[in-house]
Amino acid sequence: MHIASFLHEQRPGWGIVTERGIIVAERHGLPPSLIELLGDASAQAPHLLSELRAQTPSLRLDEVQLLAPIPRPRKNIICLGLNYLAHAQESLAAKGAAMQINEDPVVFTKNVTAVTGPYADVMRDPRVTEQLDWEAELAVVIGRGGRFIEPAEALQHVFGYTVLNDLSARDLQFRHKQYFLGKSLDGGCPMGPWIVTADEIPDPQTLNIACRVNGVVKQHANTSQQRFDVATTIAILSRIMTLEPGDIIATGTPEGVGFARKPPEFLRPGDVVECEIERIGSIRNRIIGPRESA
């Protein structure tokens, strides 16, 4: 199933996207937002969604504005850094550092206010950053929470998968010597266009992933190249914290980011960034300046 959140006539909603249109959840007695379904009825969610899928679509896709599948997560997005070896190599080489393979994942978070829609404009404000960079990533949405989850059981805790662009203000990131500020710009986490439920992607380590800027391919890889796969990541995180329904995990970006290029490349107003993952879909965001947002 493809689960999307949207605006229709300025009212938020969510539902199942089919070839015939959108089956609107609230019109069939389900909670008004997907995060409420996952939080309050996570155990019943598969059954409720199965029943919803049998209903007749009531909206066309072109009648709505798609939002991020979870427009306002309850907690920060959990992110992995340097989770593709080639990206780790390019990042360290760009900094003039010797290559060292970390034995554990690099983990940071993005603020919830960074989340924006799959086709939303993203502001690059020169008062904040001059070095906005792209990072196409596979994002995991937790459906069943838990602590001390075993790797062999971890994928059973996944509700589904979506596309995420971990937009990064490199000047902030490097100046402050940590990830959080540079990763948490308002609008710096486009996501979508929907969640594809886990039953449609039984193995998340087989997906092609790409990023294009103004139509030019900048990143192209496969999730099989992740150093810490989805199951391992869930297991490691759940040793430290209780994972909860609706939690979002961004699993890292492959090589080809802007700051590591020679010369470095950064996004400017007018640029269009597309991130695409096989079997999920693509998101497309235009970079704008402050004047365009007025």
> What sign results for the dihedral spanned by CA atoms 102, 163, 183, 74?
negative
| Cβ pair 243, 157 in contact under 8 A | yes
Q: How far is the CA of 102 from the CAs of 34, 176, 233, 286, in angstroms?
A: 36, 21, 14, 35
Could you list the pLDDT tens digit for every one of the 294 residues in the chain?
999 999 999 999 999 999 999 999 999 999 999 999 998 767 788 889 999 999 999 999 999 999 999 999 999 999 999 999 988 888 878 877 666 777 899 999 999 999 999 999 999 999 999 999 999 999 999 999 999 999 999 999 999 999 999 999 999 999 998 999 999 999 999 999 999 999 999 999 999 999 999 999 999 999 999 999 999 999 999 999 999 999 999 999 999 999 999 999 999 999 999 999 999 999 999 999 997 665
CA 262 to chain CA centroid, nearest Å: 27
Strands (DSSP E) contained in 241-290 are: 248-250, 272-277, 281-288
CA distance 134 to 72: 21
CA distance 139 to 251: 6
| Cβ pair 221, 51 in contact under 8 A | no
CA distance 228 to 235: 10
| Cβ pair 127, 172 in contact under 8 A | no
pLDDT at 293: 61
pLDDT at 56: 94
Kindly state the greatest CA–CA separation across the chain: 58
Strand partners, 107: 80
CA distance 124 to 232: 35
pLDDT at 99: 67
Q: For residue 190, say if its preceding peptide bond is cis, omega within 30 degrees of 0.
A: no
Measured from the Cβ of residue 283, the count of other Cβ atoms closer than 10 Å reads: 26
CATH number assigned to the domain with residue range 77-293, chosen from the 4 options 3.40.640.10, 1.10.1200.10, 3.90.850.10, 3.90.1580.10: 3.90.850.10
Instruction: List the domain boundaries for the chain.
Output: 2-67, 77-293
